[in-house]
A and B are shown apart, each in its own frame.
Chain A
């Protein structure tokens, strides 16, 4: 079974631009979550989607948004990029929503804002 696939792996953007990251979950998994990893804040939860609906949201500004498609693939968008948005963005998939199940992570997208 293929794992979680994130594209692109690396991205360099200029402050003020916007960016879209993509995530394809494990086949059959319907829950997709996004996390941000930075040296200072560690791994922080952004949001979770299940059946094309956002189920849970972390403490991030409205510049961070996402969506999920009918095939469970998900995209994350960050508008008006700031230098502090430089981070490793990780996507995780689960077979179902709710707690009590393992989350499997992709390789991540390394975003650098200059």
Chain B
């Protein structure tokens, strides 16, 4: 049972434009959400997080939006840069330490 889903395996965006990555979850107990960026053969790098008491969190070019009623979150990257090309994972946690990850979206920024 996939509790965190990233339905787009890949996404291509022109440099300078907005990249929007989506994530859906099914477990109502999740109350903390994170986005990670990952290059091959390396560990995930933390990007940004959001608590369920908020609906938006910004950090530089990265903004995460949370829609609790729809059980949906998205990551916006503006403007997109070539160095943003990587696999992006969303992850969710409840009261415990365990992170449940989505299957990832490969983002390619086209120069």
Contacts and interface: CB of A to CB of B under 8 A. Distances in A.
A98 B46 contact: no
B89 A33 contact: no
B79 interface: no
Contacts of B104: 42
Interface string A80-114: 00000000101010100111111111111010000
Given A100-B51, A102-B49, A33 B99 contact: yes
B interface bracket (residues with beta carbon within 8 Å of A): 20 to 34
B97 A4 contact: no
Contacts of B46: 102-105
Nearest to A50: B97
A45 interface: yes
Contacts of B32: 99-101
A99 B44 contact: no
B43 interface: yes
A106 B98 contact: no
A105 B31 contact: no
A55 interface: yes
A99 B94 contact: yes
Contacts of B97: 31, 33, 48, 50, 55-56, 94, 97-99
Nearest to A104: B46
Interface residues of A, number: 31
Interface of B: 31-32, 34, 36, 41-46, 49, 51, 89, 91, 93-104
27 contacts: A4-B43, A6-B43, A33-B97, A33-B98, A35-B101, A43-B91, A43-B101, A44-B101, A48-B97, A56-B97, A58-B98, A90-B44, A98-B96, A99-B31, A99-B32, A99-B94, A99-B97, A100-B32, A102-B46, A103-B34, A104-B46, A105-B36, A105-B44, A106-B43, A107-B42, A107-B43, A108-B42
Interface of A: 4, 6, 31, 33, 35, 42-45, 48, 50, 55-56, 58, 88, 90, 92, 94, 97-108, 110
